[in-house]
Amino acid sequence: MSRPFHWGIIGPGKIAHKFAQDIVKLEGATVHAVASRAKERANAFAERYNISHAFGSYEGILSCPDLDAIYIATPHNSHYEHTLRCIDAGIPVLCEKPFAMNSHQAREMVERAQSRQVFLMEALWTRFLPTTLKTLELIESGAIGEVVSLKADFGFQATFEPEGRLFNPDLGGGALLDIGIYPVFLALLILGKPSQVNALAKKGATGVDVDTGMLLQYDDGRIAHLHASLLARTKTEAFIYGEHGTIHLHTRWHEPTSMSIISPDGRPTNYHFEWPNNGYGFEAQEVMKCIRQELTESPLWPLAKTLELMNLLDTIRAEIGLSYPADM
Ligand SMILES: NC(=O)c1ccc[n+]([C@@H]2O[C@H](COP(=O)([O-])OP(=O)(O)OC[C@H]3O[C@@H](n4cnc5c(N)ncnc54)[C@H](OP(=O)(O)O)[C@@H]3O)[C@@H](O)[C@H]2O)c1
């Protein structure tokens, strides 16, 4: 491909701005089109990032010529519908997390992409950050010995807006799907599929979970201790405990620029990473690389992992008694 990679964006909200800022800084990539439910919002976004095509409907972008991939950045409840539409139009997709509202939707999205041979990836950006790559490299090299347990949290004090996407059940609100997904992802990445899942949650005024504690146990007895909260700012750190030391991902661990290995006697060895963007450039580069290699999924975050993560989120939801209109 001699011209730059052409991205399209559906849903020009908070995260779409961060993503577009990163694409602007990426070599060999450009945001080519944006779609909003309102033409004036699409125009404003297009003007800000110098985007050639602005659409006042999500359908419009599907017939935009020369699109190489679409990034879906709408609230959780609509990821399923938009992904299916893009795939049916033959357009590769990077879909925000959580990938879908439940595994039923996720399976259909994956099956559709596979049957049409169209690239699809969940935008689990943390997977592609240098700190995550370093963590996996350290574990693989035996730097902390066998992993014995894991602890991760993610909490911030969210302003209560019953209609907003964080609290509105119709939009998939709640701590688990928005931020709890990160600790659950880390446990899945490091320890794999658990054999037992226990969870408790406090529900807020709109019925969604606002503070959720999770314990995942594995066949060999190892345990992951996970916490997500919309009620309070928690440390938002992750610790991977090993036989010969601990990997500490510094706050906020899902997007850290620093991490340490702590020896059994408490001495840290620190690692620092600098990157010239918001951190979303890494997932975008992965998509571009895969598509240029004519792959239909990422070897780093394959669709099977996305389905395992979604299954795990479903199991936790069953434990805490959390259902959504999309489950009916
Ligand atoms: N990877 C990350 O770090 C990260 C961070 C934040 C969020 N996210 C994910 O990205 C998605 C969007 O989050 P966000 O914080 O960017 O959301 P947001 O700003 O509230 O909404 C994104 C956009 O979606 C469109 N939209 C479509 N249907 C909507 C509806 N019923 N209500 C509200 N907006 C609607 C709106 O654009 P138009 O109306 O103009 O079309 C809106 O600007 C979520 O699934 C979230 O989990 C990921």
User: How far apart are the C-alpha atoms of 106 and 100, rounded to whole Å?
Assistant: 5
Cβ atoms 176, 313 nearer than 8 A: yes
pLDDT at residue 139, rounded to an integer? 98
Is residue 97 among the annotated active site residues? yes
Give the domains, in start order, of the chain with CATH numbers. Answer: 5-125 (3.40.50.720), 130-272 (3.30.360.10)
pLDDT at residue 1, rounded to an integer? 59
User: How far apart are the C-alpha atoms of 263 and 246, rounded to whole Å?
Assistant: 7
Q: Which residues of the chain have pLDDT under 50?
A: none
User: How far apart are the C-alpha atoms of 150 and 131, rounded to whole Å?
Assistant: 16
Select which of 18, 97, 202, 235 is catalytic.
97
pLDDT at residue 250, rounded to an integer? 98
pLDDT at residue 158, rounded to an integer? 98
Instruction: Find all residues with CB under 8 Å of 181, minimum gap 6, and list them.
Output: 97, 98, 309, 313
Of 79, 80, 156, 165, the residue with max ligand 1 atoms within 8 A of its CB, to mutate for a pocket test, comes to 165
Of 9, 10, 15, 36, the residue with max ligand 1 atoms within 8 A of its CB, to mutate for a pocket test, comes to 15
